[in-house]
Amino acid sequence: MPRRSSADVSFLLIDGYNLLGTTTQLDDTVEALTEESTPLGTRWRRYDPLKLSSASLSQNGYFDDAAGSAHEALAARSGAHRIVCYGWAGNAVGQPVTGFAGALQTTYAVVASRTELTKANATYQGSGEADEAVILLPYGEVTDTLDGPVYDGGAAADGGAVYLQVSALTLGGYDGVRVIVQHSADNVVFTDLVTFNDVATAPAAARLAIPGAIQRYARARVEFIGAGSDPAVTLLVAIARY
């Protein structure tokens, strides 16, 4: 993989809020927990793995109280579990996405300093899985029923997880939007793998675990439910295979 820079960070989605435009730094840490196991008569400390991992995320950026921006997304949410996805290598099918199943927002700090723009920072403690996923449907707008591009990720016998982030939705009379993740063994017929709950308001986000096998090819299908005109949804779909 080539070197990446801040310009390659393509989205930071927290429960559907896209905070990329107000964020200046992300610090994502995954730690394998250990316990010291040094016996007597040893000159060097020893540690054994606990087969337990911990994830944490911190985010620094600018204070912005516009509708749908950082303050609305973060204020009064400390102590709440958030579904977080960020892409650090572009916004194309198959590019990596880091997903947090239930990041617990632990702090939200507004920092006002003389001669500086006011900052807004937040920290999260991973609670549950942190997934190394890939983009299945790039973050962007969809305006009609769509069978998304196919991603060949190889078959996965042990299942995985899928993420949905919806940051904007115009129903135009429709009842909602339905997102289905499909898979296929031969890239010809695609069967439904998992269906997210219909979304009728934005922002919104969901993560679904896939307990069974995932076939080699995957794609996302977007359907507008009911009848209407000129609908639009801005969303991201990502998939992790175990």
| DSSP conformation letters of 76-136 | T-TT-EEEEEEESS-SSTT-EEEEEEEEEEEEEEEE--TTS--EEEEEEE--S-EEEEEEE
Give me the least distance between CB of 198 and another protein, in Å please. 14
CA distance 196 to 214: 16
Minimum distance, C-beta of residue 156 to another protein, in the bound complex (Å):
14
Q: Which is nearer to another protein, 132 or 192 (CB)?
A: 192
Q: Which residues bind another protein (CB under 8 A)?
A: 147, 149-150, 180, 182, 184-192, 195, 215, 221
Distances (CA, A) of 168 to 31, 50, 171, 176, 233: 34, 42, 10, 12, 6
Closer residue to another protein, CB minimum distance, 6 or 145? 145
- When the beta carbons of 130 and 222 are compared against another protein, the nearer one is 222
- The least distance separating another protein from the CB of residue 183, rounded to whole angstroms, comes to 9
Q: How far is the CB of 144 from another protein (least distance, A)?
A: 12
Residue 66 burial (10 A CB sphere; 0-12, 13-18, 19+) = exposed
Residue 182 or residue 234: which is nearer to another protein going by CB? 182
